[in-house]
Amino acid sequence: MTPICLVGIGKIAVDQHVPAIDGSADWTLAATVSRAGSVDGVPAYSDFDQMLAERPDIPVISLCLPPVPRYEYAAKAIAAGRHVMLEKPPGATLAEVQALETMAQTAGVSLFATWHSRMARGVAAAKSFLADKTVTAGKITWKEDVRRWHPGQDWVFDPGGMGVFDPGINALSILTEVLPAPVHLQSATLSFPENRQTPIAADLRFSGGISGAFDWRQEGPQTWDITLQAGDDLVELQEGGNRCMINGQEATLSELDEYPALYARMAGLIKNSSSDVDLSPMIHVADAMTLGQRNIVAAFAF
């Protein structure tokens, strides 16, 4: 098994990355780097440079810390000859991720800009069904409770935190994966709490008759749905893409859950000496920030 170091031991690392690594035949968690978190039985570092210097036996780094500091860590890892996985979104800006891609190519290492929702178990079936069709309309409804999923994490509302697009980019990653032809953003309305720097809700309209409603204020049941119409055919992705209905019938699901599938993909990229850095979901978010009409709404506090 290949040793891997997990950087940023927060909620997403504990809930998803650690179990995925532990359950994989490809990987062994050999070290962690975090200011506060750790994993029982795994050597823990608080200094990334120290870990790189002391552990040349670890060839792969998985970065789970927030997007703003991620570029610096990724650049150091690549310079040290390590393969790198980037939690979504892969960075704070498009340009910095493009720079990392160039660095990785020069260094001869693999770089994987992961989009975990693309690995949701119903996504492959939707993509396969739509491959030879023309999508004529579609709707994204992505509404959840930020207090439940990011409790007390003020960074999500700071510049670079992306606000409601932190979860919303998951929907956009699915959309860009399953559509047989690309779309582009035409207009957006963004709702900013009066005390915050990033939006808490957004309404987007794309070419091709596709719209999206995103909200971080939904209590109770959470909604992560995408519907796509292709002529007389209807594809419904529910539960964040983990359920797929095609013309009212349940589709066959992929075998692996999202994060195990990501780590299997990373193992394949390294084996084939290749990278996967698709920025199309992030481009839609950047376009929303460029085109979006800004509305001020009530202050938000955790």
Contacts 24+ apart (CB under 8 A), 205-208: 206/284, 207/183, 208/135, 208/136, 208/137, 208/138, 208/179, 208/181, 208/183
Residue 160 sits at φ, ψ, to 5 deg, of 90, -15
Relative to beta strand 243-246, strand 2-7 is unpaired
Rg, C-alpha atoms of the chain: 19
Q: What is the pTM of this model?
A: 0.95
| Tens-binned pLDDT, residue by residue, of the chain (302 aa) | 999 999 999 989 999 999 999 999 999 999 999 998 999 999 999 999 999 999 999 999 999 998 999 999 999 999 999 999 999 999 999 999 999 999 999 999 999 999 999 999 999 999 999 999 999 999 999 999 999 999 999 999 999 999 999 999 999 999 999 999 999 999 999 999 999 999 999 999 999 999 999 999 999 999 999 999 999 999 999 999 999 999 999 999 999 999 999 999 999 999 999 999 999 999 999 999 999 999 999 999 99
Class at the top of the CATH hierarchy for domain 2-113: alpha beta
- From the candidates 88, 133, 143, 271, give the one annotated as an active-site residue: 88
Tell whether domain 119-254+285-297 is in CATH 3.40.640.10.
Answer: no
> What b/e sequence results for 103-135 when a residue is b if at least 16 CB atoms lie within 10 Å of its CB, and e otherwise?
bbeebebbbbbbbbbbbbbbbbbbbebbeeeeb
Residue ranges, CATH 3.30.360.10, the chain: 119-254+285-297
Q: Is 11 a catalytic residue?
A: no
Pairwise CA distance, residues 162 & 158, whole Å: 8
pLDDT tens-digit map of 33-65: 999 899 999 999 999 999 999 999 999 999 999
